[in-house]
Amino acid sequence: MILVVDVGNTNITFGVYEDKNLLTTFRMMTKQLRTSDEYGISLRELLRMNQIEREKIEGIIIASVVPNVMHALEGALVRYIGKKPLIVGPGVKTGIKITSDNPREIGPDRIVDAVAGYELYGGPILVLDFGTATTYDLITEDGCFGVGITAPGIRISAKALWEDTAKLPEIEIKKPRSILAKETISSMQAGLVYGQIGQTEYIINQVKKESGYDNLKVVATGGLGRIIADETDAIQIYNRDLTLEGLRIIYEKNAKR
């Protein structure tokens, strides 16, 4: 079994794989800072509750966009799981070529998503991740990744609405019954969700137009990605666990080395 860890700006998502089968997932909040002992004790308890024997974990891989949690998290994994994790970054084999002007600026989460999209579905492919930011990454037919678009995520946009305006309340992010909203909450929901759908469709169409890839496959992931994917034909595939799949694939590529 291997433990895969996706450290995002909002949550740390853990997954346990046996071969290619995802046995379980669980999460911790990223912004709640912990010591290595707190991470370790919480992780061992979560593994136990999910019927995972930590002694059977043969390896660990991490992709992180939050550097300040890594020291404590790595220490916890070494001390409480007994394995030194593989960190996605320079020198790690991924199977795709980074052709951007500055490859070191590409976040490891985006590289992991790109690997999963390309390995599972082939190229050319556009990989969308509806996370804290909404990202659109293009991987070519021969596995080159050099084009990416970054936009504010739905939660960021929603937070700006209720934090920067005096009278707008904090709301649940979901699609309202109609875009023809007649009160404040549904009007905010309509703007957030339909606005994201419109942005998504426009960016996908523009990428197809400028890249010349009329046969472009489009796959989405991320917590709120399901809401958007269900409302547009521009997205062909929604894979909730795409990032975890990418981590598994990268681990396997490097284990063979």
Tens digits of residue pLDDT in 17-41: 999 999 999 999 998 889 999 999 9
Q: Which of these, 168, 193, 165, 167, lies nearest to 179 by C-alpha position? A: 193
pLDDT more than 70, % of the chain: 99
Domain 97-240 in CATH 3.30.420.40? yes
Which listed residue (19, 101, 109, 233) is catalytic? 109
DSSP-derived secondary structure letter, 164? H
Domain range summary for the chain, segments of one domain joined by +: 2-87, 97-240
Instruction: Decide whether 2-87 matches 97-240 in CATH topology.
Output: yes
Q: What are the CA-CA distances from residue 78 to residues 59, 81, 189 (Å)?
A: 11, 6, 44
Q: Which of these, 150, 147, 173, lies nearest to 161 by C-alpha position? A: 173
Q: 123 in helix, strand or coil?
A: coil
233 is catalytic: no
Domain 2-87 in CATH 3.40.50.720? no
* Residue 10 CB coordination number (10 Å): 15
Question: Is 154 in contact with 130 (CB distance < 8 Å)?
Answer: yes
Q: What is the pLDDT of residues 101-120, one digit of tens each?
A: 777 788 899 999 999 999 99
Query: Which residues are CB-neighbours of 22 under 8 A, at least 6 positions away?
Result: 15, 16, 241, 244, 245, 248
Q: What is the mean pLDDT of residues 164-186?
A: 89
